[in-house]
Structure 1
């Protein structure tokens, strides 16, 4: 894994933490320029994740004789254990402290659909969110993985077009025909394609330039996001995110050797999952005891960072190889390498 991508992944995760702090503690009501910036622009962390996902998945499958089934098993082994753990943690929190989560409910069908990455209303007629709120992005991720698995049946150079066609059919034609949820009719899915394009450029050795050019790209993307525009999200935030990702990839030689940045990336998935219950509990305690929100934020940051490190070490690192062995993925992969 490129250290630059790891660093960017960690940065994106902590931006999302800031957004949810503003949501839970201030209901997005900003009191200064920094709060406004986080509340109004911090959602771009998700867009960066999606671009990175397209980039990483394309590179991770290049030149590998993966079948669609084996690819999906590997994705399930990587994504599902931690997500299920924190979703079930939310079940326990909501069941034991319902006053802390007045808008959540625990109907078995809703919990099951949350666990299975199926888009469903959190309440009748209300926005589509799983029990663990950030799971809505994983619904898109799992859709992307499923569609990308079919692209493994064709040559590497055609995979972008296969995924693009399938995304169009599922996300835009499917809802019209009643074959897919309208939840997926979101231009944000185009950001996966942007990541694949960056992966193709990287594979061809085209992500090289003098440092001033990628730095200029990051500055231009930041200015574009700050000023914003009344255009679809894939253009307003997706394109700048893609520019930031390709710029960081180009700057990879300057990131190499940083153990701290690698650690940020390693723990980013657990940070993304664990911060929701941590902030929810922190907001509840701060409100009841009259604690300053920013004092509680510091506590939540420490708890999230320590908890994410433990989650990565004891949950992610242990379950992923264990499940791959259980699924028989590693053994089959080695046999495939011998065959080819």
Structure 2
């Protein structure tokens, strides 16, 4: 049932990576993007991710044999932090290497930003630019763990809490309150997490009609936003411009039942790695290509396309070599913990 959702994760990561390479080319690297102009609104990949996250978290929790908020938060910690830390350490090593080779230390962040980045404290300024989205995810996990009461339990508290957070985020954004980096706490995309939860609730209740038309409607809406709204302009009305069509797309994707195959599954599995490493990968490839060939990877559609393809391949290789074995390890660890908890419960 989730094959369509799984593939969408890869598509969302690809959109974000494409947006960043387009933005770099059009925003100061003296590039000439033509075909890559299709990615100018690719930041909406983030909105697809948020809707999917709201769906997946609620779906997994609602089907869990036994609910434990501590177990939930431990699982989320192992899923997010270690891989992120590994990429962050690699990024720091790259910066040091470039500093040694070029003498340019301008890419280094100040100590406060480094500390925020290590712990993923709420902020829109991090060493790895896209990390602000992870801070929203973590806030969502904390709120969900605090308000969800388990499968087959009353869900009014968790939905009321999410609705309140989304409503406050809308008011906060429309009012134009400036709290610096802390604005991310009430980012407009918060509503999209709620959209995902609502989709899950409807789907589990058997409301599954018109999935394919919904998919087409959502795809059309996102395509229009992709073409008409540059990614940097997605803010105040983001939940409507990107979140609503993303919700229709995700709902419709639930009705797409097909066999992914090895490459399709790998593309979805590696989405988190692609999301984390694409900016450092652009930096490394840019340095190597400029030194070897004297050209910028942002020069034209061909160089940008090759860069994007190489980055996707690198993310898939890193997933196979490092992320997937790590996931096997931590899932086995969590399974052993669940077994001890179940045994303790039976003997008590």
For normalisation by structure 1, the TM-score amounts to 0.83
Superimposed CA distance per residue, residues 196-215 of structure 1 (whole angstroms, 9 cap, x where no aligned partner): 11111111121233745532
The alpha-carbon deviation at position 291 of structure 1 amounts to 2.7
Tell me what 2:137 maps to: 141
What is the root-mean-square deviation in Å for CA atoms of aligned residues? 3.3
Q: Work out the CA distance in 1 between the residues paired with 2:211 and 2:76.
A: 35
What's the counterpart of residue 206 of structure 2? 205
SS at match of 1:153: coil
Whether 1:157 aligns to 2:160 is: no
- Structure 2 matches for 1:267-286, cutoff 5 A? 267-286=270-289
Aligned-residue offset at 1:314? 3.0
Q: Does structure 1 conserve the Cα–Cα contact (< 8 Å) formed by 2:281 and 2:311?
A: yes
Contact 1:24/1:279 (CA < 8 Å) preserved in 2? Answer: no
- Structure 1 residues 36 and 182, CA, compared in 2 at 3 Å: closer, same or farther? same
Show the counterpart of 2:67: 66
SS at match of 1:129: coil
Relative to 1, partners in 2 of residues 1:20 and 1:166: Cα closer, same or farther, differing over 3 Å? closer
Question: How big is the shift at 1:114?
Answer: 0.5
Tell me the residue number matched to 1:232.
237
- The verdict on how the C-alpha distance between 1:286 and 1:326 changes in structure 2, with shifts beyond 3 A counting, is same
Alignment counterpart, residue 317 of structure 2, candidates 278, 285, 310:
310
Q: CA deviation at 1:338?
A: 6.9
Q: Which residue of 1 aligns with 2:17?
A: 17
Instruction: Tell me the residue number matched to 1:262.
Output: 265
How far is 1:316 from its partner? Answer: 2.2
Deviates more, 1:324-333 or 1:233-242: 324-333
Alpha-carbon deviations, 1:53-93, whole Å to 9, x = none? 00111101113222211101001111111110111111111
Residues 1:298 and 1:227: Cα distance change in structure 2 (over 3 Å): closer
Residue 113, structure 1, aligned to residue 125, structure 2: no
Name the CA distance, whole Å, in 2 between partners of 1:215 and 1:86: 36
Corresponding residue for residue 185 of structure 1 = 186
Aligned residue runs from structure 1 range 86-97, under 5 A: 86-97=87-98
1: CA distance, partners of 2:267 / 2:344: 33
Q: In the comparison of the two structures, how many residue pairs are matched? A: 327
Once the two structures are superposed, what CA deviation does each residue of 1:227-253 show, in whole Å capped at 9, x if it has no partner?
459961111111111111112122x22
Q: Alpha-carbon deviation of 1:111?
A: 2.2
* Alpha carbons 1:12, 1:46 under 8 Å: kept: yes
> How far did 1:4 drift?
0.1
CA distance in 2, matches of 1:184, 1:320: 29
Structure 1 unpaired stretches of 5+: 121-127
Q: CA deviation at 1:296?
A: 3.9
* Contact 1:151–1:163 under 8 Å retained in 2: no
User: Aligned pair in 2 of structure 1 residues 33, 182: CA closer, same or farther (>3 Å)?
Assistant: same
* Partner residue in 1 for 2:338: 330
Contact 1:17 1:272 in 2 (8 A): yes
